[in-house]
Structure 1
Amino acid sequence: MRKFTFLFSVFALLLLTACGNSVSKDSISVIKLADAGWDSIRVHNSITQLILEEGYGYDTEVTNGTSTAVFQALQQGDIQIYTEIWTDNMEDIYTSAIDKGDIVKLSTNFDDNSQGLYVPTYVIKGDQERGIEPMAPDLKTVEDLAKYPELFKDPENPEMGRIIGAPSSWVVSKHLAEKMKTYGLDKTFTYLAPGSDSSIIADLVSAYKKGEPWVGYYWSPTWVTATYDLTLLEDHPFDQEIWDKEKGTEFPPNDVVVGIHKDLQTQAPEVVDFLKNYETSNDLTEEMLNYMGENEADPDETAKWFMKEHEDIWTSWVPDDIAEKVKAAL
């Protein structure tokens, strides 16, 4: 059985903690997973839930909230599993939680991802089939944006360009705002931090269908980067010292890991053993998301499709008897 709850704020987390967690440190019947608000984590959650429910017999529940809020819930034990922790985007709180022993990293889900500022490729190269001429043929790097504020005009402030950032509740949004100041882009561009991932997508898709210029934050793997021809603007090679000081490099390498609350090790050791083997890749995750977008499928439908298409992958994560139970359910 699956349940969904919503986590709106740190206040809600404190309330949950104050009420106490009725889960024993030695046993558990309902395993809760974190949904931080994007499609790939929802598909990975659905894959995990299918295996937990059909293979191991657990009920599952998903708690929705910002990446920071659900991470704090994981650290406090109100959530047991976070299938897609973008470690560098929440480096301080992640490192602190690991060092304290509150959470345990079990595996690297994937580490061949990318993130940063994207433009539709037709902005640079044009699109002959659509009759679109190159708009900024010399645009290669983030710093090059300084030459093109008039191209990416802010409809609310036509004297400035506009860069669509990450949602304001995401840690990466602060990194992007700092990067703009480092490169002096804040003098000629406004930085718009939308309320959600879906707001970024809506703005991008609207511009893309019209063949209009657009620049903004996104990441891979996503169904967006799998579906649309986008170019990630280059940046200076990553340097930890420069990044820590002023964010004047490309984004750091980002291990996307599967993390658990420490107590799950004694509550459900067989589940921990399964999650230690959980590993995909950028391409596999993007393949799932591409299917999701093309078929207007929900995360559960996408998870089932993936597990039928790639039985050899997920069956290697679990014992044979568990795999047989899950295959029978599929």
Structure 2
Amino acid sequence: MKKKLIVLFSIFILVVLSACGDDTESENDTGTESDIDTIVLSDAGWDSNRVHNSIAQMIIEEGYDQDTDVTAGTTAATFQGLVDGDINVYMEAWTDNIKEIYEEAIEAGDIEEISVNFDDNDQGLYVPTYVIEGDPERDIEPMAPDLRTVEDLKDYPEVFEDPEDPERGRVINAPSGWAVQEAIDAKFEVYGLDETLNNFMPGSDAAIVASLTDAYESGEAWVGYYWSPTGVTAQYDLTLLEEPAFDEEIWEETKATEFPPNDVTVAVHKDLPEQAPDVVEFLSNYETNSDLTEQALTYMDENDADPEEAAIWWMEEHEDIWTSWVSDEIAEKVKEAL
């Protein structure tokens, strides 16, 4: 009889512990549901992506008591990581730059698009505005007053002289491995830029910024790929060179149009909605615009701040925005952490 009671008591204890263990796996300290140890975000190599990562990480970690991490790499590598599930969240998917693989991943059910972060952005080949208009305050004369379009660039090799090949000009492309690099390669051919200009491939976004900053501060000519929202486009007076209006058929065939409209979305791996439904609900409300993003990037530049510091500043400045993405309870936890 005594042995039977011991066995029954042991079974009772196991049942209770098992039930407690199930509760621990399904809810974290806030009572929000989660079935994933660490949520991994992608860093595809530019500062606005890093700022949005930092904002999301602050809210996920402090509001939902959920660990996060970041995996850095090229656009192609990080997006493949999202498809494979090695990465859980993509805060800045420039959908038209990766249109084919993005749509294939959506159709295959490998990823889910849950929000549009912003959609009022530009990209293409820029020149400092003083190249066209001059700058009397800096005693800079117009260098190419008739420059209007990307195709016009081939008429100005002497203005955009390549320091390593003075007989030709230089256009700064996007870094190798970025989705837009191949588009600019195609533009070089279709617009005839390769007749007089060299297609220069920088090693990184930082290399583009350093090149532009050096030229701008010296009042010299410069032309190259960039995009908004960025700290650079907020800080400097730049002109986006014109191209024919976007036409999908022409774009798919030759890239001889302006870049397509680009929804910059928040996308997640297919499993995350089940693994962390509350976090996904927050991310589905995540929405900014180019101006809001550039404010954080300008703060980085002016204060020599890193993306996390800029994210904290941005959240303090725009409490009304980010608190609308989450419940009052979560908002209070994050505000206390800030």
Please give the TM-score of this superposition, normalised by the length of structure 2: 0.89
1:78 and 2:86 are equivalent in the alignment: yes
Supply the distance in 1 between the matched residues of 2:221 and 2:238 (Cα, whole angstroms): 11
Match of 1:260 among 256, 268, 271: 268
Supply the distance in 2 between the matched residues of 1:294 and 1:200 (Cα, whole angstroms): 19
In the alignment, which residue of structure 2 is the partner of 1:11?
A: none
1:251 and 2:259 are equivalent in the alignment: yes
Decide whether the 8 Å contact of 2:154 with 2:195 is kept in 1.
no
Q: Superposition RMSD on alpha carbons, in Å?
A: 1.2
Unaligned runs of 5+ in 1: 1-22
1:144 and 2:152 are equivalent in the alignment: yes
Supply the distance in 1 between the matched residues of 2:79 and 2:252 (Cα, whole angstroms): 22
Please give the per-residue CA displacement for 1:297-329, whole angstroms capped at 9, x wherever unaligned: 111110010001000100000011000000011
Task: Give the C-alpha shift of residue 37 in structure 1.
Answer: 0.6
In the alignment, which residue of structure 2 is the partner of 1:308?
A: 316
Supply the distance in 2 between the matched residues of 1:158 and 1:247 (Cα, whole angstroms): 28
Match of 2:105 among 86, 97, 100: 97
Find the residue that maps to 2:115 and give its secondary structure: strand
Supply the distance in 2 between the matched residues of 1:181 and 1:253 (Cα, whole angstroms): 22
Please give the per-residue CA displacement for 1:71-118, whole angstroms capped at 9, x wherever unaligned: 101110011001000011111111111110000000000000000000
Supply the distance in 2 between the matched residues of 1:163 and 1:180 (Cα, whole angstroms): 9
1:216 and 2:246 are equivalent in the alignment: no
In the alignment, which residue of structure 2 is the partner of 1:322?
A: 330
Q: How many residues align?
A: 307
In the alignment, which residue of structure 1 is the partner of 2:9?
A: none
Decide whether the 8 Å contact of 2:119 with 2:263 is kept in 1.
yes
In the alignment, which residue of structure 1 is the partner of 2:175?
A: 167
Task: Give the C-alpha shift of residue 62 in structure 1.
Answer: 0.5
Task: Give the C-alpha shift of residue 27 in structure 1.
Answer: 1.2
Give runs of aligned pairs for residues 116-131 of structure 1, distance below 5 A: 116-131=124-139
- For 1:270, give the aligned amino acid: D
Match of 1:36 among 27, 38, 44: 44
Task: Give the C-alpha shift of residue 154 in structure 1.
Answer: 0.9
Identity score, percent: 65
Unaligned runs of 5+ in 2: 1-24, 27-33
Match of 1:293 among 284, 289, 301: 301
Supply the distance in 1 between the matched residues of 2:317 and 2:220 (Cα, whole angstroms): 37
Supply the distance in 2 between the matched residues of 1:101 and 1:48 (Cα, whole angstroms): 24
1:108 and 2:141 are equivalent in the alignment: no
In the alignment, which residue of structure 2 is the partner of 1:14?
A: none
Task: Give the C-alpha shift of residue 156 in structure 1.
Answer: 1.2
1:275 and 2:283 are equivalent in the alignment: yes
Task: Give the C-alpha shift of residue 158 in structure 1.
Answer: 1.2
- For 1:235, give the aligned amino acid: E
Larger Rg computed on CA atoms: 2
Task: Give the C-alpha shift of residue 191 in structure 1.
Answer: 0.2
In the alignment, which residue of structure 2 is the partner of 1:190?
A: 198
Supply the distance in 2 between the matched residues of 1:192 and 1:90 (Cα, whole angstroms): 22
